[in-house]
Amino acid sequence: MTLTIGVLALQGAFHEHVQLLKKATEQAPPSEWDFIEVRTPQELARCDALVLPGGESTTMSLVAARSDLLEPLRDFVKVHRKPTWGTCAGLILLAESANRTKKGGQELIGGLDVRVNRNHFGRQAESFQVPLDLAFLGQDASPFPAVFIRAPVVERLLPHHEGIQVEEEKREETVVAPSRPAKDLATTASNVEVLATLSGQAARLATQGRDISPEAEVGDVVAVRQGNVLGTSFHPELTGDARIHAWWLRQVQEGVQSKRKTEQ
Ligand SMILES: NC(=O)CC[C@H](N)C(=O)O
């Protein structure tokens, strides 16, 4: 069985993802993999799964709109429900709602019933790396070197179907992914699972005493999953550590295999 894994290559760290996916196949079960860069609807149509890289989400959505990719991307995630993983800017695009978007708003793809807060930890110069515990990598796994660059956090998990509800005072800053017709929403997986939080202490140490947010004490949500959609605030593609890529490829493989079986 050949699996075609696409990396959205409109802007940002797509090359790094392709490299690390290739490295990750050394740890994943044997299969035939085809890794492709995606810039057109035709390339997207070939993919069994997709990665949205880090970079600049506003630019990515503008280029996606210009390339006639926005609707095909929304269908890929929400109608065909193919495995999709967004890192940093990719996570922003996969959120149903985002705060602190640029003036004039920003198109989102959606798929994760969450609201993200862009640039949560500050500017480029305030980037940091922390060892992050990721339980899904296994009980004995050593912490993952998580790189945060103008990273978003998931500031709210939205009840399903309520992705379009925003707080009054934030309305102007908030954009919302277009909702699907009810029949599509009904097939979308429901609950958002929190996969990782960054403790307030870790964040403070990493940013040398800067006060990050009142919520930081309970931990900022930096990795979530909802059905076929995975989002991480940090950039695993910028480390040499391929464990998350390998884990994700295994999920993709299992998911596609069981889907093909039920379709037979
Ligand atoms: N490193 C990143 O991907 C940063 C994301 C960026 N803050 C954005 O809004 O797109």
**237 belongs to the catalytic site:** yes
Active-site entry in 16, 17, 47, 88: 88
Q: How confident is the model at residue 171 (pLDDT cuts 50, 70, 90)?
A: very low
- In the chain, the percentage of residues whose pLDDT exceeds 70 is 79
- In the chain, the percentage of residues whose pLDDT exceeds 90 is 59
| Average pLDDT taken over every residue of the chain | 83
Task: Tell which atom from ligand 1 comes closest to the C-alpha of 12.
Answer: 3
**Ligand 1 site, residue 56, Cβ cutoff 6 A:** yes
Q: How confident is the model at residue 209 (pLDDT cuts 50, 70, 90)?
A: low
Per-residue model confidence as pLDDT tens digits over 228-243: 999 999 999 999 999 9
Distance CA 146, CA 233 (A): 9
1-15, 92-106, 196-210: the lowest-pLDDT one: 196-210
ipTM of the complex: 0.95
Q: How confident is the model at residue 17 (pLDDT cuts 50, 70, 90)?
A: very high
199 annotated binding-site participant: no
Residue 212 has pLDDT above 60, yes or no: no
Q: How far is the CA of 19 from the centre of ligand 1 (A)?
A: 20
Q: How far is the CA of 72 from the centre of ligand 1 (A)?
A: 22
Per-residue model confidence as pLDDT tens digits over 129-164: 989 989 999 989 999 999 999 999 998 888 765 444
**88 belongs to the catalytic site:** yes
Residue 112: predicted pLDDT:
95
Q: Against a cut of 0.90, is the pTM above it?
A: no
Residue 172: predicted pLDDT:
39
Test site for ligand 1: of 14, 85, 150, 239, most ligand atoms within 8 A of the Cβ = 150
**At the fourth CATH level, which superfamily is domain 2-121+142-197+223-263?**
Class I glutamine amidotransferase (GATase) domain (3.40.50.880)
Residue 163: predicted pLDDT:
43
**254 belongs to the catalytic site:** no
Q: Which residue has the higher pLDDT, 92 or 255?
A: 92
Domain spans, the chain: 2-121+142-197+223-263
Distance CA 46, CA 2 (A): 11
55 annotated binding-site participant: yes
Per-residue model confidence as pLDDT tens digits over 100-126: 877 667 899 999 999 999 988 888 888
Task: Tell which atom from ligand 1 comes closest to the C-alpha of 59.
Answer: 10
Q: How far is the CA of 177 from the centre of ligand 1 (A)?
A: 17
**Ligand 1 site, residue 89, Cβ cutoff 6 A:** yes
